[in-house]
């Protein structure tokens, strides 16, 4: 198994492979010292496929993810001398971007129904094929509701038929547009409007829901990948890689939802990072059902560091600490770590106890342990 | 007929001549019409905070700026930035105790940035390539006398000359440099480096008159030759304490010892023969001078050099790095001990214990310690004879009192360095010289120097260390203790260009944007405008919803949320 590393390639004037220690590796969006590792998003010429004025909530992870993905996808299509059309399922992304008669999209964009985006994309791809337009590529996208539950049959059919579509799921782990109802991607113990934090086992049930990236892998399609808005370089690379292939491809992007998760709007990227660093959201890629790369954990944290920032998990800490449920979630994370071999990052550091706070964390300086708002 | 976009006025097909598809009554438009900035209750603002390194630097160097310059290999630009505040970077990179590194936030992430090592690299690079300081301002016709050619005097002379004033420096010693030459041993500061940096100041047109002690400053003030005077005579006299001693006991003071070694070196004489320290040397004191004296004695051939100090190691005023180096060289330490009586070849030591206030108290237990000589390193005092009778000047605790402009009570007479209340390090002296020069420059123009408002200190809590790659500090090579204790060769070696570049790039740029594009990349509303390289970014407040992701994800904490004013 190869390891996907986020470290930049060696700058020409350097030797000894020490360049990964530069002031900022490629962890940041850009780097004035290392032009060769800048992301597409660092460019003033980026496409801005989702432009300003959309009505997404403050700090929306999905808006961020959609721009990252479609900017990279359009750039890849244009690089190949072609262009891109996108098909959108119903959900937040469609609603906040296209309240009639305005649109925030700056690329050809179709919306039909909640559950049929993969099928519509199939039709678009077929139509283009019939017209002999092999220069136009198709990207279908939807939230976890439209993908994991309602459009699931269509998605599986699209995979089976071998349609030339890249399907991107923006996973914010519930039906946010309609008021935060549980979906098949909602994690166990999370509170939603339909899985209230009441009773013996508050929040969502353990052992239900489904892992669509692995289901997609089971279709043995050319490419399946997971990513988050916290690792832009990784996400852009995966989209570009997927655009270089044909046939059904699937990318599953974790996009935190401040409103639905009960998190600070400023914490969107941080929470996505903690989801990865805790092991709860494994970041990997697979080709034809075989895992070909993982993003190893750089600074491991206990799941608690991720949970504690979100009100949907508040019942695990208040009024009393629910050690058992936190332990079960930690066990899920540990299983992901074992399943994908998520330890062994070149910069990995062991979990440390922070004396100042008593919390266990290595994520950054004390800034990351301090959940108090900055204004305090 | 005008277009009225309502269903009534626009039947299908439209009476406007505009044909729209079935059931479409409005023209489509861009979401840009929707100014989402109205949602905001707080707005992000770019700030420039004072980084902790700059804050801690006694010379007031803009460290972060010269590290930033050095990061892309622009060493000359970095050196020029550095030289604005400090004319002796090669010296500084060797003798400074780098409080900047103690303050460095990177120390809380992995290890502090090796600022001092990079400074030394820049200083050495400048000497190697013969870079010359920026041209001085046009002559002002004013003439300033600087008394003392130590760090404070040199720094003031350099800063005044830069500003176009004529400067004369007088010093009692045969060579300029003050305690950098006569107090700091050559194994810490090679003399060719010191000479080269002083020569560079001389090359700017500063006049040096050496071997010329100023005995009476009043006559200089009255001569009318100078428009202002800066005193920086240092603290050259070893402090004495009464130790009962037999006839033949050999007692000397550390300042004299270090100066004699330098004079002998200069004259090509063998200092070991001249000083007759003997085989066992005891140094009494706990400051840097005590350590330098012990390490020097060892190098002069003493088999044993023992430091006797009243308190414990953690209460030693000496810097820890020096203590470590001394221990590596086999210097022995006797804590909680005072010298009670000195005889030929023998000292009587009394054991001490710390009371609850941390002050050492005698215990009445004595022991004998064989010693051929005793070196006293109990601090230094200034010889202030030259200011006798100066009107308005006050002396307290053996030092001259100055105001925040470094001016004494006598108008036009300024003072700095070890002779005023201070920490007494080279870097503090450099800082005093710079600040005094600014004040003198204003005074010569009939003004009072106003320091620009200090920026708020950068907050470690605002650093997002995720974005910085882990990078251990590059360690400067050192001669091994056993090998170096025999010679006056330089102990610490410099970094090579690769390592210096690497070290400069470890800077996290606390509190000041370094254009990593994070804010531009992570804004879900595209409300960050990326400007030209070097011009940073601006917010488009028409669309910024005030979510704060940019603030959270800014690696260096250069963005701040402030409440919207209604």
Q: Residues of A with CB below 8 A from B473's CB?
A: none
- Kindly determine whether residue A60 and residue B524, on different chains, have CB atoms separated by under 8 Å: yes
Look at B548 and A27 and tell me if their CB atoms are within 8 Å: no
Please judge whether B28 and A102 are an interchain contact, meaning their C-beta atoms are less than 8 angstroms apart: yes
Give the Å distances, CA to CA, from A119 to A112, A123, A152: 10, 6, 10
- Does B31 contact A54 at a Cβ distance shorter than 8 Å? yes
Does the beta-carbon distance from A58 to B29 stay under 8 Å? no
Q: Distance (Å, rounded) from C-alpha B188 to C-alpha B184? A: 7
Chain B residues touching residue A364 (CB < 8 angstroms): 109, 463-466
pLDDT of residue A25: 52
Of all residues in chain B, the one with the smallest CA distance to A363 is: B466
* Residue A355 pLDDT greater than 80, yes or no: no
DSSP three-state, residue A285: strand
pLDDT of the residue at B26: 78
Nearest CA of chain A to the CA of B101: how many Å? 17
Report CB contact under 8 Å: A32, B506: no
Partner-chain contact B465 A365, CB within 8 Å: yes
Chain A to chain B Cβ contacts (< 8 Å): 207
Mutate to test the interface with B, among A11, A28, A40, A69 (most CBs of B within 10 A): A28
Strands across the sheet with B332-334, in order? B251-253, B373-376, B280-284, B304-308, B332-334
Question: Which of A10, A14, A53 to mutate to probe the B interface, most B CBs <10 Å?
Answer: A53
d(CA B169, CA B207) in angstroms, rounded, equals 6
The C-alpha angle B471, B323, B242, rounded to 5 degrees, equals 155
Q: What is the mean pLDDT of residues A187-210?
A: 95
Considering only CB atoms, which chain B residues are within 8 Å of A60?
Answer: 524, 547
Nearest CA in chain B to A14: B498
Pick the residue of A15, A30, A48, A58 with the most B CBs within 10 A to test the interface with B by mutation: A58
* Chain B residue with minimum CA distance to A264: B547
Q: Residue A16's pLDDT is what?
A: 36
On the question of pLDDT at A213 being above 70, the answer is yes
Q: Which sign does the torsion angle of CA A45, A46, A50, A53 carry?
A: negative
pLDDT at A118 over 90: yes
Concatenate the DSSP letters of all residues of B445-486 into one string. Answer: TT----PPPPPPBPPGGG--GGGSPP-PPPPPPB--HHHHTT
CA-nearest residue of chain B to A65?
A: B524
Using CB atoms within 10 A of its CB, is residue B18 exposed (0-12), middle (13-18) or buried (19+)? exposed
Collapsing DSSP states into helix, strand and coil, what is residue A328? helix
Q: Which helix (H) or strand (E) holds A286?
A: strand A284-287
Query: According to DSSP H, which parts of B139-253 are helical?
Result: 151-162, 179-182, 191-203, 217-222
CB-CB under 8 Å, B34 with A53? yes
What proportion of chain A, given as a percentage, has pLDDT over 90? 80
Query: Which residues of chain B have a CB within 8 Å of the CB of A257?
Result: none
Q: Which residue among B36, B71, B560 sits closest to A53, beta carbon to beta carbon?
A: B36
Question: What residue in B sits closest to A45 (Cα-Cα)?
Answer: B530
The distance of B463 to chain A (nearest Cα, Å) reads 6
Q: Nearest CB to A366: which of B460, B506, B508? A: B460
What is the chain A residue with the closest CA to B473?
A21
Which residues of B fall within a CB distance of 8 Å from A375? 561
Contact A269 B508 (CB under 8 A): no
Answer for the pair A273, A192: CB distance below 8 angstroms, yes or no.
Answer: no
Cα within 13 Å of Cα(A292), Cβ side: 12
Nearest to B550 by CA among B467, B470, B469, B468: B467
Q: Answer yes or no: do A101 and B553 touch at CB < 8 A.
A: no
- Contact list, B36 vs chain A (CB under 8 Å): 52-55
Report the Cα A364 to chain-centroid distance in Å: 21
Whether residues B464 and A30 touch (CB distance < 8 A) is answered with no
**Distance in Å, alpha carbon of B1 to nearest chain A alpha carbon:** 22
User: Alpha-carbon distance B298 to B330, whole Å?
Assistant: 9
Q: Is A58 in contact with B547 (Cβ distance < 8 A)?
A: yes
Q: How far is A67 from chain B (nearest CA, A)?
A: 8
Instruction: Look at B463 and A347 and tell me if their CB atoms are within 8 Å.
Output: no
> For residue B463, what is the nearest residue in chain A, using CA coordinates?
A367
**CA distance linking residue B59 with residue B337, whole number of Å:** 36
**In chain A, what residues touch B520 (CB-CB under 8 Å)?**
29-30, 41-42
Q: Do B517 and A58 touch (CB under 8 A)?
A: no
Number of alpha helices (DSSP H) and beta strands (DSSP E) in chain A? 11, 10
Q: Quick check: B460 and A33 CB within 8 A?
A: no
Picking from B36, B71, B551, the nearest residue to A23 by CB comes out as B71
Q: Do residue A367 and residue B462 have CB atoms under 8 angstroms apart?
A: yes
DSSP symbols for A151-185: THHHHHHHHHHT-SEEEEEEE-SSBTTTT-B--TT
**CA–CA min distance B129, chain A (Å):** 21
Contact B464 A266 (CB under 8 A): no
Q: What is the mean pLDDT of each run of 10 residues along chain B (566 residues)?
A: 42 57 82 94 97 97 96 95 98 96 91 93 97 96 97 98 98 96 95 97 97 94 94 93 82 93 89 84 95 94 94 91 92 94 91 91 93 94 93 94 96 96 95 98 96 94 88 72 78 86 90 95 97 96 97 96 88
Find chain A residues with C-beta within 8 A of B466's C-beta: 27, 273, 299, 363-364, 368
Q: CB–CB of A368 and B466 under 8 A?
A: yes
Q: Give contacts of A15 with chain B, Cβ < 8 Å.
A: 498
pLDDT for residue A10 is more than 60? no
Q: Contact B467/A27, CB-based, under 8 Å?
A: yes
Asked if B548 lies within 8 A of A264 by C-beta distance, the reply is: yes
A61/B108 touch (CB, cutoff 8 Å), yes or no: no
Q: List all residues 6 or more positions away from B149 whose beta carbon is below 8 Å from its beta carbon.
A: B157, B169, B170, B171, B173, B176, B177, B178, B198, B208, B210
Structure tokens at B115: 């600022």
| A232 contacts B521? CB cut-off 8 A | yes
User: Is the Cβ pair B548, A22 closer than 8 Å?
Assistant: no
Question: Which of A12-16, A207-211, A233-237, B61-65 is predicted with the least confidence, judged by mean pLDDT?
Answer: A12-16
Higher per-residue pLDDT: B470 or A6: B470
Task: With CB atoms and an 8 Å threshold, state whether A67 touches B540.
Answer: no
Contact (CB, 8 A) for B178 and B426: no
- Taken in order B547, B550, B553, B559, the sign of the CA dihedral is negative
Residues of A with Cβ-Cβ distance to B525 under 8 angstroms: 52, 54, 56, 63
Nearest by CB to residue B505, choosing from A33, A51, A67, is A33
Q: How many CB atoms lie within 10 A of CB B461?
A: 15
Nearest C-alpha in A relative to B71: A33
Question: Going by C-beta distance under 8 Å and a sequence separation of 6 or more, which residues neighbour residue B558?
Answer: B46, B47, B48, B49, B509, B511, B512, B513
Residue B285 backbone dihedrals phi, psi, to 5 degrees:
150, 170
């Amino acid at each position: 198994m190869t390891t996907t590393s986020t470290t930049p390639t060696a700058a020409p004037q350097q030797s000894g492979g020490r360049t990964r220690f530069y002031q900022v590796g490629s962890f940041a969006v850009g780097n004035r010292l290392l032009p060769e590792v800048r992301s597409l998003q660092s460019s003033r010429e980026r496409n801005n496929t989702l432009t300003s004025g959309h009505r997404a909530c403050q700090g929306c992870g999905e808006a961020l993810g959609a721009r990252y993905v479609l900017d990279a996808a359009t750039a890849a299509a244009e690089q190949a001398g072609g262009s891109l059309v996108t098909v959108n399922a119903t959900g937040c992304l469609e609603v906040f971007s296209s309240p009639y008669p305005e649109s925030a999209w700056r690329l050809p964009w179709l919306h039909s129904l909640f559950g049929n985006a993969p099928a519509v994309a199939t039709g678009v791809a077929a139509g283009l094929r019939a017209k002999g337009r092999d220069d136009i590529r198709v990207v279908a996208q939807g939230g976890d509701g439209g993908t994991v539950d309602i459009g699931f049959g269509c998605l599986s059919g699209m995979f089976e038929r071998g349609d030339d579509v890249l399907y991107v799921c923006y996973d914010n782990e519930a039906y946010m547009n309609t008021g935060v109802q549980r979906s098949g991607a909602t994690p166990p113990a999370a509170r939603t409007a339909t899985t209230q934090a009441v009773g013996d086992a508050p929040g969502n049930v353990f052992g239900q829901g489904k892992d669509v990236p692995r289901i997609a892998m089971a279709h043995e399609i050319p490419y399946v990948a997971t990513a988050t808005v916290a690792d832009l370089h990784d996400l852009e690379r995966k989209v570009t890689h997927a655009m270089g292939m044909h046939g059904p491809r699937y990318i599953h992007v974790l996009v935190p939802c401040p409103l639905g998760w009960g998190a600070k709007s400023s914490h969107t990227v941080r929470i996505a990072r903690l989801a990865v660093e805790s092991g709860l959201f494994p970041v990997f890629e697979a080709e034809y059902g075989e895992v070909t790369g993982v993003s190893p954990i750089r600074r491991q944290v206990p799941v608690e560091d991720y949970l504690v920032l979100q009100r949907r998990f508040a019942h695990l800490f208040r009024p009393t600490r629910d050690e058992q449920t936190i332990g079960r979630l930690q066990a899920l994370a540990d299983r992901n770590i074992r399943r994908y071999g998520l330890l062994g990052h070149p910069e990995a550091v062991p979990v440390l106890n922070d004396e100042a706070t008593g919390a266990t964390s290595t994520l950054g300086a004390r800034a990351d342990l301090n959940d108090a708002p900055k204004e305090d | 007929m005008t277009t009225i976009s309502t269903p009534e006025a626009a039947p299908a097909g439209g009476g406007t001549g505009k044909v729209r598809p079935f059931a479409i009554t409005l023209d489509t438009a861009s979401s840009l019409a929707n100014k989402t900035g109205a949602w905001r209750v707080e707005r992000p603002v770019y700030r420039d905070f004072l980084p902790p390194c700059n804050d801690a630097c006694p010379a007031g160097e803009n460290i972060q700026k010269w590290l930033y310059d050095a990061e892309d290999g622009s060493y000359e630009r970095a050196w020029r930035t550095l030289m604005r505040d400090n004319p002796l970077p090669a010296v500084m990179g060797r003798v400074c105790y780098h409080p900047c590194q103690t303050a460095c936030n990177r120390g809380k992430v992995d290890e502090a940035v090796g600022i001092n090592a990079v400074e030394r690299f820049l200083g050495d690079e400048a000497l190697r390539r013969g870079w010359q300081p920026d041209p001085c301002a046009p002559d002002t016709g004013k003439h300033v006398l600087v008394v003392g050619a130590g760090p404070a005097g040199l720094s003031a002379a350099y800063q005044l000359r830069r500003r176009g004033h004529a400067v004369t420096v007088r010093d009692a010693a045969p060579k300029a440099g003050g305690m950098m030459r006569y107090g700091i041993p050559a194994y810490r500061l090679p003399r060719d480096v010191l000479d080269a940096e002083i020569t560079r100041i001389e090359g700017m047109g500063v006049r040096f008159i050496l071997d010329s002690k100023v005995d009476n400053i009043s006559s200089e003030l009255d001569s009318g030759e100078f428009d202002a005077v800066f005193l920086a005579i240092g603290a050259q006299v070893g402090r004495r304490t009464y130790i009962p001693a037999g006839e033949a006991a050999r007692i000397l003071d550390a300042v004299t010892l270090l100066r004699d070694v330098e004079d002998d070196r200069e004259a090509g004489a063998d200092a070991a023969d001249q000083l007759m320290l003997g085989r066992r040397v005891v140094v009494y004191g706990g400051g840097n001078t005590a350590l330098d004296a012990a390490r020097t004695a060892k190098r002069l051939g003493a088999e044993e050099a023992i430091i006797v100090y009243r308190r414990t190691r953690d209460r030693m005023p000496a810097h820890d790095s020096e203590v470590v180096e001394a221990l590596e060289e086999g210097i022995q330490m006797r804590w909680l001990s005072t010298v009670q009586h000195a005889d030929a070849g023998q000292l009587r030591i009394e054991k001490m214990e710390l009371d609850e206030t941390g002050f050492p108290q005698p215990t009445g237990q004595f022991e004998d310690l064989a010693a051929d000589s005793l070196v006293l390193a109990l601090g230094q005092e200034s010889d202030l004879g030259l200011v006798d009778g100066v009107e308005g000047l006050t002396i307290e605790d053996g030092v001259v009192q100055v105001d925040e402009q470094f001016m004494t009570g006598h108008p036009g007479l300024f003072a700095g360095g070890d002779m005023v209340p201070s920490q007494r390090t080279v870097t503090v002296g450099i800082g005093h010289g710079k600040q005094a020069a600014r004040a003198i420059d204003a005074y010569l123009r009939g003004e009072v120097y106003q320091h620009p408002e200090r920026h708020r200190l950068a907050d470690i809590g605002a650093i997002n260390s995720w974005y910085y790659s882990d990078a251990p500090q590059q360690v400067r090579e050192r001669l091994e203790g056993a090998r170096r204790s025999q010679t006056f060769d330089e102990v610490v070696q410099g970094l090579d260009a690769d390592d210096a570049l690497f070290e400069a790039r470890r800077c996290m740029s606390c509190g000041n944007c370094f254009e990593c594009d994070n804010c531009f990349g992570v804004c879900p509303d595209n409300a960050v405008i990326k400007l030209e390289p070097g011009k940073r970014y601006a917010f488009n407040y028409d669309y910024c919803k005030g979510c704060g992701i940019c603030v959270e994800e800014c690696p260096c904490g250069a963005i701040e949320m402030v409440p919207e004013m209604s």
